[in-house]
Amino acid sequence: MSEEGDDKLLGLLGKMMGNIARSAVENARLLQEAYPHLSATSVDQAFGVSDAVNGYSGNEKGKRGRKRKGGAEGDAPKKKRAPSGYILYTSEQRSSMKEDGSATGMAQKELMKELASRWRDLPQTGKDEWNNKAKEGAAAADAASSSAAAAAVESLDDGEKKQKKKHKKARADKSEKKKKKKKDKDRHDD
């Protein structure tokens, strides 16, 4: 398959995942409305909304810088992926190389090659330590994001309630104006 075909396939898969995420969020909201006694957290977990709310929103820029279609303005921002053990290792190594001066004058490409070489040469026990650090960090981030997802669903509900209240008031005002206009017309006709 050509590179252009791969790009189209990735674009299509991205759109599909965005649709799935939006559907899960909408289904969770509908279920919460129908059964308000259920906790928002249990509804989120049932639909995997903690991942969907923080996942693909459809508003991110694609590979070529074009804005992807889909996703409403109020969609939650894309969930930031937890760094891997390799990323943690290379960021610490980069810092230490800059401190001791061994990275001075080195181009970014050369620096990355050096860091990749160090990771390859690292014994498996060392790699496992870094991967465990990454897993611990990811678990802490997931715990924080699930509580944020519940808060996002609740704030969505509050916003909808305010909008309905505002709409109801506008209809009442319009109805009141019609009654007053009719009353004035009846007086004028008499």
Give residue limits of the domains in the chain.
Answer: 3-79, 85-143
Percentage of the chain modeled with pLDDT above 70: 66
Could you tell me the sign of the dihedral formed by the alpha carbons of 36, 42, 47, 48, in that order? positive
pTM: 0.39
Model confidence pLDDT, tens digit, residues 9-29? 777 777 887 778 777 777 777
Residues in the chain where the model's pLDDT stays below 50: 51-58, 60
Which string of b and e fits 29-61 if b means at least 16 CB within 10 Å? Answer: bebbeeeeeeebeebbeebebbbbbbbbbbbee
pLDDT at 172: 82
Alpha-helical (H) ranges within the chain are 3-34, 40-47, 49-54, 85-100, 108-121, 124-189
Which one-letter amino acid corresponds to residue 165? K
Model confidence pLDDT, tens digit, residues 76-87? 666 677 888 899
